[in-house]
Amino acid sequence: MIDIENLVRKNIRELVPYSSARDEYSGEAILMDANESPYNQPFNRYPDPRQKELKEKIAEMLQVPSGRIFLGNGSDEAIDLLIRVFCIPGSDRIIIMDPSYGMYKVCADINDAVVDFVELNPDFTLNAERILGNVISSTKMIFLCSPNNPTSNLLETDEIVKVLEGFRGMVILDEAYIDFTGSDGLISILDQYTNLVILRTLSKAWGSAGIRLGMALADPRVTAWLNRVKYPYNVNLLTQEKAMDLLGNDKQKQEWVEMILAERRRLAAKLEGQDIIKKIFPSDANFLLVRVDDPDAVYEYLAQGGVIVRNRSRMTHCRGCLRITIGTEAENNRLIELMETF
Ligand SMILES: *Cc1c(COP(=O)(O)O)cnc(C)c1O
């Protein structure tokens, strides 16, 4: 077992966290402890800093104990806090697979952690050996993303496990798109690996990017460290309430996912036949990565026609690639029509 306590930055280990009024007392009473207004119920009160009710709901849904759940202002907050808790600015290093989601590098840069990019195989599969071959003594953290953005493929569990087994630091596994796969992700192995952190979000399958709710699932000691460092009221009342409503309706999410998957199949089939499309990569997510000959021109043409896609053609192994998020049937039809007339 890895001594995760020892991986935490010394100043964070010694930190005396802010203790808020709602931390000290949260029961039914006349509350004269937090300088809140007595008017404008219920928004006059600070929200639950520990999001107890919401965590219980998520715990039940994911079959994970509440103590293993950290909730943040999007998973982006969790990414930033993880780096702040574990990585000493100016000296500790982070391995990020290349290509992958851009926020890991931005958060690393903000926190002055040194980034080592390690390439995926040209077919976008994970090469655990290459990842581990780049670990040095100051490497504290490895970011993996499955399904990966922008390549849209689920990573092989065996390779992820090899990374977990072979690394003495923290492994952050971003499962933002897991609901679009047939897989349950790796929550089931959380209790075997104290250095594993799984990120989930309400921004994709749950259709709620606007409310900003993300989560980190991890060893209770890790979630405790994250809780000590976060802003006391990082998940606002509106978000907590809206998330309670949403998460009560798993059927709705499942319907949305089915519709997106059906549209993904239809869109891929329609694009497959077009001259302009050189390749469509197999997708486990709510987007398609497609290769064209002149991505800049196609991007521009689509934008002129009112459809904005993401130009990923300058990323490693992504020559000629555009990333297309699956829209509604009508939105996808407009894209198909534009592609046909390019
Ligand atoms: C969209 C996305 C997220 C979501 O971030 P939030 O801050 O929760 O909205 C996380 N990771 C990846 C790889 C993503 O593509």
Residue 242 has pLDDT above 90, yes or no: yes
Hey, what domains does the chain have and what are their CATH numbers? Answer: 4-248 (3.40.640.10), 251-341 (3.90.1150.10)
Which of 71, 76, 287 gets mutated to test ligand 1 (max ligand atoms within 8 A of its CB)? 76
From the CA of 26, how far away is ligand 1's center (Å)?
32
Answer yes or no: pTM beyond 0.75: yes
SS3 155: coil
Instruction: Round to whole Å and give the CA distance between 124 and 64.
Output: 30
The pLDDT tens digits of the residues spanning 266-280 come to 999 999 989 999 999
- CA of 232: how far to CAs of 26, 35, 57, 249, in Å? 14, 15, 21, 28
- Quick one: DSSP state of residue 4? G
Closest CA to 176 of 289, 55, 284, 58: 284
The pLDDT tens digits of the residues spanning 269-317 come to 999 989 999 999 999 999 999 999 999 999 999 999 999 999 999 999 9
Find the residues whose C-beta lies inside 6 A of ligand 1.
74-76, 101, 145, 149, 174, 176, 201, 203-204, 209, 214
The pLDDT tens digits of the residues spanning 108-152 come to 999 999 999 999 999 999 999 999 999 999 999 999 999 999 999
From the CA of 150, how far away is ligand 1's center (Å)?
11
Closest atom of ligand 1 to 203 CA is: 9
